[in-house]
Amino acid sequence: MFKDITLGQYFPGNSPIHRLDPRTKLLLMIAYIAAVFLVQDMWLFLAVGAFAVGVTLLARVPASYLWRSLKPLRLILLFMFVLNLLMIQTGDTLFHWGFLRITEGGLRQAFYISFRLILLVGGTSLVTLTTTPIALTDGLERLLSPLAVFRFPAHELAMIMTIALRFIPTLLEEADKIMKAQLSRGADLESGNIFQRAKAMVPILVPLFISSFRRADELAMAMESRCYHGSEGRTRMHVLRFSRRDGLAAAVTLGLIALILLAQA
């Protein structure tokens, strides 16, 4: 029953954005994040927003998918908005009642921080929506691989991510199976206080741990059998190559960001 879960939030497609090299997307995402943090002007926020909307349209990702990634943000957004509104006391006073004082500076900051959060989450979601987890891991590994000089385990991290992505559905399915087995042995997972409930989870968690260890053991053996010996001398079937499209995307994105920052200056 867990077979249908989609991991990450990849939205399958073949748009120009989908086809960009994952490294391009990751690097431009960093530039975009920097821009979002540097912008301090309502109009320029709208410009960055327009850029994000443009990319969304180009990627042909339905707005509902983007909305879904923004949804969990609502509470934080509200909290940050109110916090900034009440705590920042600069500029003209707009409203005063008892200890509550809302200033023009506070209101501006409240809006800025909200925009920033929305643009940040929306923009990064756009990357995960248009890039498969495996391409993302791949891009990350290759971007970080120069750091191997400093003994940074880029390949190992990417391998860990890949295996995690591969096994999460398997383990969820297994958890479901074990849960059903214990339920049919009269396990009560629904009543009692928090301690009783935690205790009731033991018959599910213990077998799950044991089986995870067994899986890890067997997987290690299978990987060894397939000549796995770390990143040394390893090649890849899919070689990432920057294409003209990547150059174009970088030029447009960086150009726009430069323009926006110039306008601000």
Partner 1 sequence: MITLDHVSYQYDRQDAALNDVSLSIADGELVAIVGHNGSGKSTLAKHLNALLLPYAGKVLVDGLDTSDPENTLAIRQKVGMVFQNPDNQLVTTIVEEDVAFGPENLGIPSGEIRRRVDEALAAVGMEAFAKKAPHMLSGGQKQRVAIAGMLAMNPQVLVLDEATAMLDPQGRRDVLEIVGRLHKKGITVIMITQHMSEAALCDRIIVLSGGHMVLDGPPRSVFAQEDILRKAGLDLPPVVRMGALLNAGGMSLPLCLDVEELAEAIWQYSCKM
Partner 2 sequence: MAIQLQNVTYIYMEGSVLSQAAVSDIRLEIQEGDFLGMIGHTGSGKSTLVQLMGGLLQPTGGRVLVDGLDLGDKKQRKAARPRVGLVFQYPEYQLFEETVAKDVAYGPHNLGLAPEEVEARVRRAMELVGLPYDRFGEKSPFALSGGEKRRAALAGVIAMEPRYLILDEPMAGLDPMGRKAILETIAGLRQETGCAVVMVSHSMEDVAQYAQRIAVLHQGRLVKAGAPGEIFQEEALLRSLGLELPVPCRLAAALRARGMDVPPVYTEEALAAFLLERGKHV
User: Can you read off the two tokens belonging to residue 253?
Assistant: 């994105």
Counting contacts by CB under 8 A, is residue 243 touching partner 1? no
Query: What number of helices (H) and strands (E) belong to the chain?
Result: 10, 2
Question: Is residue 57 within 8 Å of residue 76, measured between CB atoms?
Answer: no
CB of 205 to partner 2, least distance (A): 8
Helix-, strand-, coil-residue percentages of the chain, each rounded to 5: 70, 5, 25
**Phi and psi at residue 95, to the nearest 5°:** -155, 135
Q: How far is CA 140 from the centre of its chain?
A: 13
| Per-residue mark of binding to partner 1, 191-230 (x: CB under 8 A) | -----------------------xx--xx-xxxxxxxxx-
Q: Which does 133 bind (CB under 5 to 8 A by kind): partner 2, partner 1, none?
A: partner 1
Of the pair 3, 74, the CB lying nearest partner 1 is at: 3
Binding mask 114-133 for partner 1 (x = CB under 8 A): ------------------xx
124 binds, among partner 2, partner 1, none (CB under 5 to 8 A by kind): none
22 touches, from partner 1, partner 2, none (C-beta below 5 to 8 Å by class): none
User: Considering the rule CB under 8 A, would residue 34 count as an interface residue with partner 1?
Assistant: no
**Looking at beta carbons only, is 2 or 81 nearer to partner 2?**
2
Of 82, 81, 49, 62, the closest CA to residue 13 belongs to: 62
Work out the angle at residue 63's Cα, subtended by the Cα atoms of residues 24 and 127, and round it to the nearest 5 degrees.
Answer: 15
Closest approach of partner 2 to the CB of residue 183, in Å: 6
The site that binds partner 1 (CB under 8 A) totals a number of residues, namely 32
Count CA atoms closer than 13 A to 98's CA, side-chain side.
Answer: 0
103 DSSP β-pair partners? 93
Residue 14 in contact with partner 1, rule: CB under 8 A: no
H or E element in which residue 261 lies: helix 244-264
Between 74 and 241, whose beta carbon lies closer to partner 1? Answer: 241
Longest Cα–Cα distance in the chain = 73
- Are the beta carbons of 175 and 57 closer than 8 angstroms? no
User: What minimum distance in Å lies between the beta carbon of 207 and partner 2?
Assistant: 5
Which of the listed partners (partner 1, partner 2, none) does 152 bind, with a CB threshold of 5 to 8 Å by partner kind? none
Q: Least Å distance between CB 34 and partner 1?
A: 31
Phi, psi (deg, nearest 5) at residue 235 = -110, 175
Residue ranges binding partner 2 (CB under 8 A) = 1, 4, 174, 177-178, 180-188, 202-203, 206-207, 210-211
Residue ranges binding partner 1 (CB under 8 A) = 3, 7, 132-134, 162-163, 165-166, 169-170, 173, 214-215, 218-219, 221-229, 233-239
